[in-house]
Homo-oligomer: A and B are copies of this chain.
Amino acid sequence: MINYPNGKSFHASNPPNLHSSHPTRRVDYGNRGMTLEDDLNTTNRYYREQHIALIHKKPTPLQIVNVDYPKRSAARITEAYFKKPSTTDYNGVYKGKYIDFEAKETQNKTALPLQNFHEHQIQHMQQVKEHGGIAFIIVKFSSNNEVYLLDAQFLFKFWQEQQDGGRKSIPKHTFVSNGFLIPQSYRPRIDYLKAIDQYYL
């Protein structure tokens, strides 16, 4: 099976990016079966509806090759391919600050493999910081359902060390020591702006 650029296989029955504007919303807010992306979309919708922040997931970038224009119905894309994203997935504005982050979920209990990121995304986050924005990653360790926010500077450090022949992952203890364990609840699901308030503002 060929995978999606982010390393996950794609399931057409549960496509990425489509939840935020889906007309029928899930009513099961239990944790089982919810992916980190689902939880973040729900959280961002809550932030928007409560006028707390304006943060969106970007659409998945696709290379469109062919489109049909049938009469009396919507244009239909009949050939397209996934592209490697050149930016992170999420951005927006909170208390006047530019916010930018990437979210990753791992089954690994002791570390986050760096293969979850592309060089372009690292460069993008470096530029965010250069221009005065706030850049971080949100990482879910699925095995024990912990979700951490970690400033991008730590990602840059481990990325550089990997280039220099070092380890190929960020150890869990870096998240514990230098990141924030994000509180999870009913609404919002993953209240990551709490960590932003503490760490950046």
Contacts and interface: CB of A to CB of B under 8 A. Distances in A.
A59 B62 contact: yes
Interface residues of A, number: 59
Given A69-B2, A77-B77, A12 B56 contact: no
A94 to B, nearest CB: 7
Contacts of A79: 76-78
A91 interface: yes
Interface string A40-58: 0000000010010110101
A109 to B, nearest CB: 29
B2 A96 contact: no
B82 A74 contact: yes
A51 B131 CA distance: 8
Closest 9 CB pairs of A and B: A96-B132, A93-B98, A59-B61, A77-B80, A93-B133, A98-B98, A59-B59, A93-B131, A15-B64
